[in-house]
Amino acid sequence: MKKILFKLLFGLMVIALLPVQVAQACSAFIVGKDLTTDGSMLYGRTEDYPYAPDGGRHNQNFVVVPAKDYKKGDKIEDESNGFTYPHLTHEMKYTATYDAARGDGSNGNFGAHGFNEVGVSMTATVSATPHDKILKADPLVKDGLPEASMIDLVLPRAKTAREGIEIVAKTLDEKGSAEGNIIVVADKNELWYMEILSGHQYVAIKFPQDRYAIFANTYYLGHVDFKDKDNVIASKDVEAVAKKADHYKTDKDGKFHIADSYGPDEYTERNRSRTYAGITLMDPKADVKYDDQHFDLLRKPTDPSKKYSLEDVFAEQRNRFEHLKQFTADDLAEPGKKVDTKKYKYALGNENVIDAHVYQIKKDLPSPFGGIVWLGLAQSRNTPYVPFYGLVNDTYGAFKVRSAKYDPTSWYWAVWHIDQMVMKYPDLFGTSIQDKWKEMEAGWIKEQAALDQKYSGLTDEQAKALQGEVTKESMDRADVIFKQIKATEKEMEDKIREEKGLEADFVYDGYNKANLMAAAEKGGSDKKPETCQEALGDYL
């Protein structure tokens, strides 16, 4: 108990030291098929883990959950908050990227994202905080639906993207929500965006294919037509609760504005910086200013001929204000010194990212394939994005290692370690590692396009028959890539040893600046610690 209390106190101390809120930190994007170079739908998210003392250091496992039959009375039981929900008699196979700490009695599963066997995909969630007045009118529910169970609730059940949203809506009506959240659910025909606004209120829209969106940890929906049942799914009391809370807001035309009514009065700096960076990267001539009251969700590029590629959205998730010279990523601030919050901002490609993913949904691929997930475990700024079909029935062994600390056999930990060395020794590595991955990704994109062509036009039954072949292809490619990752890791260690000496820090304990700042404050010193071990001492 003492240890738990100590960790809580330490976490609060770190939050106090940071210039902005750290409790939520994911960000996401959507690009409709009319705006992409190949006509595919693109969406994705970076999952951030900003919690001290392990900020940005939280192992993830990319796995396949087999189809399963259940007995009457069997149910989902979420260890994070006590949420329960009955299992179906039969539930479908799906992929997920779980927290390695799942099952320890406190963490929860946090499946994050995945495909199911009929091609429905999902990312969950981008957390969001309802306005205090809203929470008084419709409080969150302690054992309501949490982020930790979202993937395990939807993907085993949903046959279409719309049905995925309807499953969540029904659960919220019955059980309520434990958190404010944003989710995305897609199939080969359409994509849905949903904001969970309070304990029992929600609005989802079918995303228009001629728009793109950038969103962080807050609400963005403006006015929607609740009568348009084909394109909108909403709780019946969305407007009534806003009025009850005395926080009913309208747009310039006098129409109900969802985000202004349910969200905070102002964006936090972390939400503002990431949304603004994403919009201006995707559309440098966008009519937005950093201090705008709110950023519209549904956007069109200023150039009507603009089309977005996979490389564009990888760059969005990696972005560290390279295009905004007035800003610097706040994980580069000097530990122990006062942070200039006008200069240092929270970046999309920040130190806390533990899982970056991009879903590419192609209409010509048979439904069992789902599409392609481009998976980048650990920090997006220095991870390779590797493609996998949703059809696979197994994943490479390095994705399954569940160690809570660095393990050389783990995909997550190997890439995490590479990132830590890059950030510890920028004079040695600069952008060379990211450049290396980009060159490799260009080759994978070409290879993947050829595979997509090979499998396009198959019937669903033909596709299912190829599951073993496709799984072997993914295993073989993952094996080659992991060996390249490990070779890169060793080359970096050799270079550090050669340039910095045999006693150099190889950063196996991590190099998270938020934790270093907290440690510097603890010691009352402005001196930058030489190693994370030195900085954190008995916190490790």
pLDDT tens readout for residues 333-353: 988 788 899 999 999 999 999
Return the pLDDT at 538.
Answer: 29
Residue 426 counted as domain residue: yes
Asked if omega into 53 is within 30° of 0 (cis), the reply is yes
Return the pLDDT at 52.
Answer: 77
Give the integer Cα–Cα distance in Å for 143 and 309: 41
Catalytic residue status for 532: no
> Helix, strand, coil proportions of the chain in percent (round to 5)?
35, 20, 45
Closest CA to 438 of 373, 359, 384: 384
Return the pLDDT at 531.
Answer: 29
Return the pLDDT at 7.
Answer: 39
Mean pLDDT, residues 482-494? 99
Residue 226 counted as domain residue: yes
Query: Catalytic pick from 26, 35, 134, 140?
Result: 26
Mean pLDDT, residues 312-319? 99
Return the pLDDT at 519.
Answer: 56
Mean pLDDT across the chain, nearest whole number? 92
| Cβ atoms of 389 and 94 closer than 8 Å | no
* pLDDT band at residue 175 under the 50/70/90 scheme: very high
pLDDT 10s digits, 386-423: 999 999 999 999 999 999 999 999 999 999 999 999 99
Residue 326 counted as domain residue: yes
Q: Is the pLDDT of residue 518 over 60?
A: no
Strands 75-77, 94-99: parallel, antiparallel or unpaired by DSSP?
Answer: unpaired
Return the pLDDT at 336.
Answer: 78
Return the pLDDT at 347.
Answer: 98
Percentage, residues of the chain above pLDDT 90? 86
Return the pLDDT at 521.
Answer: 53
Q: How far is CA 477 from CA 240, 396, 460, 472, 481, in A?
A: 53, 9, 24, 9, 6
Q: Is the pLDDT of residue 21 over 50?
A: no
Q: How far is CA 500 from CA 15, 492, 497, 506, in A?
A: 33, 12, 5, 10
* pLDDT band at residue 321 under the 50/70/90 scheme: very high
Q: Is the pLDDT of residue 242 over 50?
A: yes
pLDDT 10s digits, 354-391: 999 999 999 999 999 999 999 999 999 999 999 999 99
Return the pLDDT at 14.
Answer: 39
Question: Poorest-confidence range of 2-16, 250-264, 511-525?
Answer: 2-16
Residue 514 counted as domain residue: no
What is the domain extent for residue 275?
A: 2-489
Residue 508 counted as domain residue: no
| pTM to 2 decimal places | 0.92
Other CB atoms within a 10 A radius of the CB of residue 386 amount to: 24
What CATH number has the domain bearing residue 429? 3.60.60.10
407: left (phi over 0), alpha (psi -120 to 50) or beta: beta
Mean pLDDT, residues 244-272? 98
Residue 540 counted as domain residue: no
Return the pLDDT at 104.
Answer: 86
Question: Poorest-confidence range of 35-39, 259-263, 450-454, 525-529?
Answer: 525-529
- How many residues does this entry show for the chain? 540
Residue 131 counted as domain residue: yes
pLDDT 10s digits, 133-147: 999 999 999 999 999
Residue 152 counted as domain residue: yes
* pLDDT band at residue 131 under the 50/70/90 scheme: very high
- What residues does 48 pair with on adjacent strands? 353
Percentage, residues of the chain above pLDDT 70? 91
Q: Which residues contact 190 (CB under 8 A, 6 or more apart)?
A: 161, 162, 206, 207
Mean pLDDT, residues 16-21? 34
Per the structure, the count of domains in the chain is: 1
